[in-house]
Structure 1
Amino acid sequence: MLSKLMRATMLGAAAMLAPALLALAAFAAASDYRFELANARPAGPGKTDVAVRLVRVRDGRPVPDAVIFQTRADMAPAGMPTMTGNVAPQSAQQPGTYRFQVDTGMAGGWALTLSAKVQGEPETVRATVTFNAAQ
């Protein structure tokens, strides 16, 4: 049998460790999130409106209010990674959906690469979403 002193010591140590373990469990990794293509539509000559959703992998729920701080569009899927297009953010109508207008100078497969910070998470979420541009 454990003495009262040993039991009290073990309970005290567990009580001190519990908040630290809970804090570690509260942080998700960047791999716990993903970007999905919502749609890609022509937006005029040489332009495509692209909407992406940022979702939490474990439950598929949208993640609103992420800060997307880096974007890049290129034709790597069509074998032309040096063919790039400007990316301009647009307003989104739904939480967790992020819209961009991409200068797609030619039809074909395009890749939109994104870097985002999710509020409360220490890691950067990075992903590439592919879409087809029609001219």
Structure 2
Amino acid sequence: MGQRADFMLLATTTPDYPCPATVSDVACRLGLGQVPAVDVAAVCSGFLYGLDLARASVETGTYARPLVIGAEVYTSIIDPLDRTTSVVCADGAGAVLCGVDTAVVPASSRRSTWAATEPVAT
């Protein structure tokens, strides 16, 4: 790994608190200092929206190594005895450090070959 994230997105609809954004606390706990950081609250599609925002930020050259995290704690908002929702919604988290591997992808084709490059242990 060795690469440091320069932008961070946290997709969650179950933040620890509504304000300030949870992503700022997570960035601090990860030792990222004051990197630009954004919460994405879009329920099930939040992580995908986060990946798309990361892709766009790399393609435009705004950021080189965005970190996208998806985390939900649905047990804090649903009744575990309600079998209509508890079997569908669960707690979980995942993260990926995105960017372009410049050793593999030539500069002329970076826009069309962007991909998530490194999973992050959670």
| Larger fraction in strand | 1
Structure whose alpha-carbon radius of gyration is higher: 1
Same fold per TM (> 0.5)? no
TM-score, structure 1 length as denominator? 0.26
TM-score, structure 2 length as denominator? 0.28
